[in-house]
Amino acid sequence: MLRLTDLKLPLDHPAEALPNAIRAKLGIAPAALRSFTVFRRGYDARKRGAIALIYTLDVEVADEAALLARHADDRHVQPTPDTSYKFVAQAPAKLEHRPIVIGFGPCGIFAALILAQSGFRPIVLERGKAVRERTKDTWDLWRKRNLHPDSNVQFGEGGAGTFSDGKLHSQIRDTQHHGRKVLAEFVKAGAPEEILYVSKPHIGTFRLVTMVENLRASIEALGGEIRFDQRVDDLLVETDAQGERQVRGVRLADGGELRSDHVVLALGHSARDTFEMLHARGVYLEAKPFSIGFRVEHPQSLIDRARFGPQVGHPILGAADYKLVHHGKDGRSVYSFCMCPGGTVVAATSEPGRVVTNGMSQYSRNERNANAALVCDIRPADYAPYGEGPLAGIALQRHWETHAFHMGGGDYSAPGQRVGDFLAGRASRAVGEVQPSYKPGVHLTDLSTALPDYAVAAIRAAIPAFDRQIRGYALPDAMLTGVETRTSSPVRIRRNDDDLQSLNTHGLYPAGEGAGYAGGILSAAVDGIRVAEAVALSITGERTESP
């Protein structure tokens, strides 16, 4: 087959325009085009009112070799690559110790799935609950202000991505087609088939719940085990005479122990007590940069009009998103993150006495407000006032989350402010056109003290700059809700580039967002696959260079 890329057609083209465009591109007669499938469909919205669809297509034609020769100099006409997933190793007939996966978010799910599909029958330890019980506990905070520290937006089956927009696009280089494997498994688990070809696929929270359950069932059917309410409190590590460290298993909160020489750390970015345990155990950790800020809400209709103009409301386009960045004169960057079209702002804390915000959308994306994190980058050098060492970023997060809790009234309400008041430096007294969606509630105040001074100043400078890109972004009635602190892990658990094992603890495989090697559902799932492959190769005695 042939892969055709960058084939552009108007947004409202008729069905017959696509095969006609293929024939025109290749210069072939109608009978020579046997079939075609859409591999990717995106859109170019740079010209409002003239939005174009951009197709990548796999085409079956007569006399393929002749066409390739004729278009040898055209990079948009190439042989279709093989994007099927290739397993790197299969489990031996006798497996002395089964691999352990700690955490059952996207990274842990796909690490466990690949290990199970390869015959290794992994044991998954998840501190939280199964996804439907976890959903009830999460709503208990949102509706009744009751926090469950081990069962919430951050912890439990499916990980933090379960309560999000369910975005499945990433900027990672997918040379081994791991991302395609993730999307294919999601479709098998119940995701809409369109995620295989649309340029910005998303699923939404409600669909993710069922999909996660189906993925769990697939792992269990292959001999894997998922054990909920199993918090790992310690690593079992042996050190030989040469000082080499080898993991030998884990100790659970209930005192039980599990033996294994291969442990995957798919922790997620909020497993703070586990980071502390790893640091105490001598596992190599280092502080890494992340970002903090607020959630901002606008009318979704405002964003739609700004992005799509007269073609707003077209069913292919759906609700508009955006991605913005502003580089300040002081070197600080402010950018939009985790933008949720037609969604809501949600309470995402995992510790008592703290307030954390995040965003969530359903598949339909039909709520009134658009929301996104509006965050400023911070660096390890900024952590000094809060602590020292690799965990200082966690201390910074906790400081501002606790402060937000008190600013919100001490009942898990979040502090909020109208954008116009924030830019003017005055407290908000009433909401306007944009009703804040955060549950359990928003307490209006002055957010100028909700973050470090440099972050507040940077965000104040960024909003008018963003208004020049999206007219109306500085809408006085737009709402800011604080604080957004869990954009990524403040810690990196360093690992070797070749075998993906901990820098100083053999058999320990840091993975995903919590280890500092991913950011989002797709990249975390892909990292889970890569680590599972490394475990499989280690157990079978094979070695390969990691891509």
Tell me: the pLDDT tens digits for 514-532?
Answer: 999 999 999 999 999 999 9
Three-class secondary structure of residue 528 per DSSP:
helix
Architecture of 100-232+494-540 per CATH?
Answer: 3-Layer(bba) Sandwich (3.50)
238 φ/ψ angles, rounded to the nearest 5 degrees: -110, 145
Task: With CA atoms as reference, report the closest residue to 451 among 400, 409, 495, 494.
Answer: 400
The CA-atom distances, in angstroms, between 246 and each of 98, 236, 259, 462, 504 are 16, 9, 12, 48, 9
Q: Which helix (H) or strand (E) holds 374?
A: strand 369-378
Q: What is the pLDDT of residue 424?
A: 97
- Say if residues 252 and 232 touch (Cβ distance below 8 Å): yes
pLDDT tens digits, one per residue of 389-446: 999 999 999 999 999 999 999 999 999 999 999 999 999 999 999 999 999 999 999 9
Q: What is the pLDDT of residue 544?
A: 45
Confidence at 177, pLDDT banded by 50, 70, 90: confident
- Residue 246 reports pLDDT greater than 50: yes
* Extents of the domains making up the chain: 2-75, 100-232+494-540, 289-484
Confidence at 364, pLDDT banded by 50, 70, 90: confident
- Residue 470 reports pLDDT greater than 80: yes
- Residue 138 reports pLDDT greater than 90: yes
pLDDT tens digits, one per residue of 159-172: 988 888 778 877 67
* Spatial separation of the C-alpha atoms in residues 20 and 173, rounded to whole Å: 32
pTM given for the model: 0.94
- Residue 546 reports pLDDT greater than 50: no
Q: What is the pLDDT of residue 325?
A: 98
The CA-atom distances, in angstroms, between 134 and each of 117, 123, 127, 225 are 27, 20, 11, 19
| Cβ atoms within 10 Å, residue 343 | 28
Between 252 and 205, the higher pLDDT residue = 252
What is the average pLDDT across 80-102?
94
Q: What is the pLDDT of residue 175?
A: 65
The strand ranges marked E within 172-320 are 225-227, 232-239, 245-252, 257-259, 263-265, 285-287, 290-299
Q: What is the pLDDT of residue 73?
A: 95
Query: Positive or negative, the Cα torsion across 270, 274, 277, 281?
Result: negative
What is the average pLDDT across 260-279?
97
What is the average pLDDT across 85-91?
95
- Say if residues 372 and 291 touch (Cβ distance below 8 Å): no
Fold of 2-75: Alpha-Beta Plaits (3.30.70)
Strand pairing of 290-299 and 479-484?
A: antiparallel
